[in-house]
Amino acid sequence: MVGLVVTGFEDLPRDVSAVGSLVAMDERRLACGRTRLGLTQVGPPLWSHDCGWEDLLVPVSVASGREGLDLEEGWTRRWTASWRAGGNETSSTVQDLARLPVVDSDPMRWFSWQRSQRHRPGLQFLVSTGRHHGTESLEEARVLLALDFAAGLLDIVSQPIKLRFGASGKRRSHIPDYLAVTRSGVWLIDVRPERLIKDGDRESFAAAAEVALACGWHYTVAARWREHAPAALDAFSSQRRPLSDPLGLRPALLASARQGLTFGELAETTPFPPIARAQLLHLLWHRRLGTDLSQPLADRSMVVTGEERES
């Protein structure tokens, strides 16, 4: 729920022992804050201003799906990938995939809307890219929101490639849900709630993981989220677009956040608490402030300063 107040490196003492003393002092101060609020911290905090998007997920293993895959020598030349660009479909071996412009591709399948369908497709606007991206379900929309918030997202393609791979003596195919280009690398992503993952899915996911590894990409299955993270991101995202500050509240909120106050207390330090709440959500989305995502977001949530960023 609480943690260290982050300051600029130039403010830290040069002496290592002094740094240790500073850390211990901040831990004691924020521990007192927990006691004052009557809160119990279970496990380490997940600070919103300092986490990666993958930290918001609970890892789900797909290793069991690897057993039947054809991974004998030369598999990267036998497995293929196809993608669409400009109305044309292009194919290559997995061995050559990383060198090709897959990120500029169109979705391999289009999103459709019809009566009585069990999923909910839609379009999700991302601040990072400045445009809408397709989703086939609410779970996929949640993934896009997390990528927009914490991945350093540069671009993303929905349904990017169709993989054809060997498994258990048969030829199978699989279309991952997203290919995301971030400042920390490229992510190939599948989205499936954990309770809906079947054995065939694990095999497809394991194949996608092998392709990502061969290309030097990251891979994950977005199957389960940290308990309170999605609700907090939903709240932050309400103020993610450009927000003016005609009353000049933002500098005062950033300064007050260094005192180890809660969300509600920070809002009350200003003459206009309702407007301050909107500004606080904006600062949290842009990671100039941080809060512990392992706890529910509420007035009693501790808020700390993050890195100074333009918003």
pLDDT per residue as tens digits for the range 69-93: 999 999 999 999 999 988 889 999 9
Query: Is the confidence at residue 109, as pLDDT, over 70?
Result: yes
Of the candidates 90, 84, 67, the residue with the CA atom closest to the CA atom of residue 210:
67
Backbone φ and ψ of 279, nearest 5°: -65, -40
pLDDT tier at 310, thresholds 50, 70, 90: very low
Mean pLDDT of the residues in the chain: 85
Residue 3 confidence (pLDDT): 37
Instruction: Report how far Cα 115 is from the mean position of its chain's Cα atoms.
Output: 31
Q: How far apart are CA 48 and CA 57, in angstroms?
A: 13
Whether 10 shows a pLDDT value over 60: the answer reads no
Q: How far apart are CA 63 and CA 172, in angstroms?
A: 18
Asked if residue 7 has pLDDT above 50, the reply is no
Where residue 231 falls (left for φ over 0; alpha for ψ -120 to 50; beta otherwise) is alpha
Using the predicted structure, report yes or no on whether residue 150 has a pLDDT greater than 90: yes
Per-residue confidence (pLDDT) for residue 117, from 0 to 100: 61
Q: Give residues with Cβ within 8 angstroms of 297, minimum separation 6.
A: 228, 231, 232, 235, 263, 291
Q: Give the pLDDT band of residue 119 (cuts 50, 70, 90).
A: low
**Burial 105-138, CB ≥16 within 10 A → b, else e:** bbbbeeeeeeeeeeeebbebebebbeeebbbbbe
Instruction: Note the helical H segments in 152-296.
Output: 199-215, 229-237, 249-256, 263-268, 273-285
Residue 166 clears pLDDT 90, i.e. is over it: yes
pLDDT higher than threshold 60 for residue 199: yes
Q: How confident is the model at residue 13 (pLDDT cuts 50, 70, 90)?
A: very low
Q: Out of 126-135, 261-270, 301-310, pick the least confident.
A: 301-310
Looking at residue 158, the DSSP 8-state letter turns out to be E
Weakest-pLDDT range from 16-30, 165-179, 181-195, 281-295: 16-30
pLDDT tens digits, one per residue of 290-307:
999 999 999 999 999 985
pLDDT, position 88: 87
CB 161 within 8 A of CB 109: no
- The predicted-structure confidence for 28-67, as pLDDT tens digits, reads as follows 444 445 544 455 556 789 999 999 999 999 999 999 999 9
Does residue 12 carry a pLDDT above 90? no
* 114 has pLDDT over 70: no
For residue 140, what pLDDT is reported? 95
pLDDT grade, residue 24 (50/70/90)? Answer: very low
Q: What's the pLDDT band for 171 if we cut at 50, 70, 90? A: very high
